[in-house]
Structure 1
């Protein structure tokens, strides 16, 4: 019989939000995802992936951060097709 125990961890608010959205899409909850991660750590006798510092330049990291902010800005228009994007671009002429 499996015995479970409650565990409390601190997670960055935005990381938790994004992780919950991902897990929801995968049909998982946070607890199930953490359990999968922990079991994979045990099976691999370590982390189940490489941990390394990204090798991006400061300008690339800045551009990535700017893109993330733009993608979450509700005032930035979105398009469902190239035709919609092209029409919006042509309106600006």
Structure 2
């Protein structure tokens, strides 16, 4: 196999994190990059589906938390607003 050196610029922190990750998986960063490139060539494109991730708003997160609490049989409940206020000291 004929190899060539390749220079790329990447954020230092990202490189450190990726190196640690791939070392934990038993690979060097160079081997991981080679795997990515080989799979890209095999797939004739990215070896994964690139897509934007939608971040959830605070309201969406609060609704999810409320749904989880409603399903939790161990969640604290109150019979009226005064019980809640007494609990939190208002």
Smaller-chain TM-score range? Answer: 0.5 to 0.7
Match of 1:41 in 2: 40
Gaps of 5+ in 1: 60-93
Q: Which ranges in structure 2 are unaligned for 5 or more consecutive residues?
A: 59-90
Q: Tell which structure's C-alpha radius of gyration is larger.
A: 2
Superposition deviation, residue 57 in structure 1: 3.1
Q: Are the structure 2 counterparts of residues 16 and 4 from structure 1 closer, same or farther at C-alpha, using a change threshold of 3 Å? A: same
Runs (4 or more) in structure 1 with deviation over 6 Å come to none
Q: C-alpha displacement at 1:14, in angstroms? A: 1.3
Secondary structure in structure 2 of the residue aligned to 1:23 = helix
How many residues are paired up?
58
Task: Say what the alpha-carbon RMSD is for the aligned residues.
Answer: 1.2
